[in-house]
Amino acid sequence: MKWVKGILALLFLSFAWVQLDDPDPYGWVAIYLAIAIACGMAAFGRYYTPFVGTLGVIAVLWMVGLVPEVWDWIQRGAPNIAGQMKAESPYIEFTREFFGLLLIAGTSWWLFRQGRAKQKTAS
């Protein structure tokens, strides 16, 4: 499993890198770097559950704010959001952001559970 966490760390690091070109990079670079660091630490057996738990909560709360745009995307028949990198409609950009946050939230949850399990076995 160490290699999976290492690959996730590199993947999220690359996500942070491409966000540098985004019109609103600061929040995105920060959250992608944070999950990359958490994955990298976990690859070496270091879990900081308050950190990944907080990160997951932030991602979920951020996702809640994007639900109306995702709902708009669904009502339009869920058109392709990956066809072009330039988002021509607001719902495309917000839906992409929603799924990025979903990846962060899911990864945070996974790391949190693993960290808690490690704490229980250490006790």
Q: Where are the domains of the chain?
A: 2-122
Q: What is the per-residue pLDDT for 92?
A: 84
Which helix (DSSP H) or strand (DSSP E) does residue 49 occupy?
A: helix 49-75
CA distance 80 to 100: 16
pLDDT at position 82 = 82
- Specify the pTM: 0.91
| DSSP class of 7 | H
Q: What is the mean pLDDT of each run of 10 residues along the chain (123 residues)?
A: 94 95 90 97 94 97 95 90 73 90 97 92 76
The whole-angstrom separation of Cα 64 and Cα 85 is 24
Q: What is the DSSP letter of 18?
A: H
